[in-house]
Structure 1
Amino acid sequence: MEVKKTKPVREALQLANLLIETDGAAVGEIVGETGTGKTQAAHAVLTEFNGVRICCHEGMTRYQLVARITAGLDIEGPSTRWLELLEKYPHQVGYRPIVIVDEANKLKWQALEVLRYIADECGFAVLLVGTELYERQFSNARTRPLLLQLGRRIGAKRVRMGHLDRADCARFLLHPKFGEVDKEVATRFWTGCRRGNWGEAVELAGECLRLAQVNNTQTLTMGVLEAALNWFANRRDAA
Structure 2
Amino acid sequence: MPFIDPENGYLTVINLFKTDTPERVHRLVGEMRAIVDVADYPGWISSTVHQGQERPGTANFIQWRGNQDLESRYAGDEFKHRTVPVFHEIATYIRLMQTEVELSQRHPSLGDVTEISPDRDDYTVIEILGVAPADQSELIRVQGAMHEWLVDVPGYRSQTVLRGIRSRGVGGTDGGLTAVGQEKDFVVVYSQWDGKESYDAFRALPSADQPAARRASLDKRDSLATSAEWNTYRVVHSRSAAQTTPA
TM superposition score category, shorter chain reference: under 0.3
Which structure has more RCO (C-alpha within 8 Å, separation ≥ 6)?
2
TM-score by structure 2 length? 0.21
Which protein shows a greater Rg?
1
Q: Which has the higher helix share?
A: 1
